Amino acid sequence: MHLKNFFNNLFTFSNKEKRGIIILVILIFLIILLKFVNVFELFNNNNSFSKSFFSNDTIAKLETHFFSNINKPVISYSYNDIPHDFIINPNTATTSDWKTLGLSKKQIKTINKYIAKGGKFYKISDLKKIYGINDSIYNIISTHLYIPDDEQIKPKNKIDKQYLIEINSADSTKLVELKGIGPVLASRIIKFRKKLGGFYSIFQLKEVYGIKPETFEKIKDNITADTSQIKKININEAGYHELKNHPYIGNYEAQAIIAYKKIKGKINSIVELVDNKIITDSVAKKVSYYFCFN
């Protein structure tokens, strides 16, 4: 019995509630109906509804708002639209020149702003850096651009190809002039050079931590090594620590050289060390630039 009363109360509405439901249903119906109405038809000059419901002023404003984008002319980038013999210098071109190439007001404004701030096109492809100039536009207008030879100033390498830096005497200021060598690598070169005593070959730079093969390829034609700048170690006077700290002499070799000197009293040549198995032939070839036997 209680369940029956529950359902009776659930679906029983007062007159006020019934009117509210009817109004809600009508509103939902109208909203659904409006979805299928062509809004643009309301603003047609031949439409009686628009004439009676809106003033002529309102209709004109609404038409402008809805149809402005539709009626807006679209710039068509086509070779056929630009005179075949029309050539301009992008560094001196006028607004009229850019319009002839079919650029929009916004694109022209961006270019003019770039020039006004001191910007310059050193090569035609620099135009692609301008915001709004995509590849398709560039491919069309680029054939109508030229830059005189005296304006084609390309970014220079840090040093001239014919100018050589001597790596045994150069300070860090000089070394950073080399392409790909920054302050950190310059510091490492100097530190390694000090431990060695100097470079006998430019290829020794490959042994400096951080210098990649591609970096060496970039700088090899701009460097030279003067072997007269190398500071040599007098092997007969050098102690264990001085020998051990050299990059090409390890702990074993340093101990062996000191022990051999105690026995022989004096070492006369690098060949003597090789013959007595104190250093290998490959090590001898390297250290021969750094040892003297006075």
Question: Are 61 and 87 contained in the same domain?
Answer: no
Task: Choose the final residue of a domain: 120, 151, 182.
Answer: 151
**More confident call, 35 vs 211:** 211
* Residue 187 predicted with pLDDT over 80: yes
Task: Choose the final residue of a domain: 151, 184, 214.
Answer: 151
Does this model's pTM top 0.85? My answer is no
Residue with tokens 């050193």: 122
Task: Choose the final residue of a domain: 177, 195, 227.
Answer: 227
Least confident of 26-35, 183-192, 281-290: 26-35
Provide mean pLDDT across the span 213-230: 92
Distances (CA, A) of 15 to 8, 19, 24, 26: 16, 6, 14, 17
With residue 291 as reference, give the H or E element that holds it. strand 291-292
Provide mean pLDDT across the span 207-222: 92
198 within domain boundaries: yes
Q: Give exposure, 279-289, as e/b (b: 16+ Cβ within 10 Å).
A: beeebbebbeb
- Please choose, from the candidates 151, 175, 157, 155, the residue with its C-alpha nearest in 3D space to the C-alpha of residue 165: 175
pLDDT tens figures, 9-44: 555 666 777 777 788 888 887 777 665 554 445 445
pLDDT over 70, % of the chain:
72
pLDDT class for 201, splitting at 50, 70, 90? very high
Question: Are 220 and 253 contained in the same domain?
Answer: no
* Residue 184 predicted with pLDDT over 70: yes
Least confident of 19-28, 61-70, 214-223, 270-279: 61-70
Provide mean pLDDT across the span 218-243: 93
- Residue 204: which residues within 8 A CB-CB, separation 6 or more? 196, 225
Provide mean pLDDT across the span 272-286: 91
Domain of residue 106, CATH code: 1.10.150
108 within domain boundaries: yes
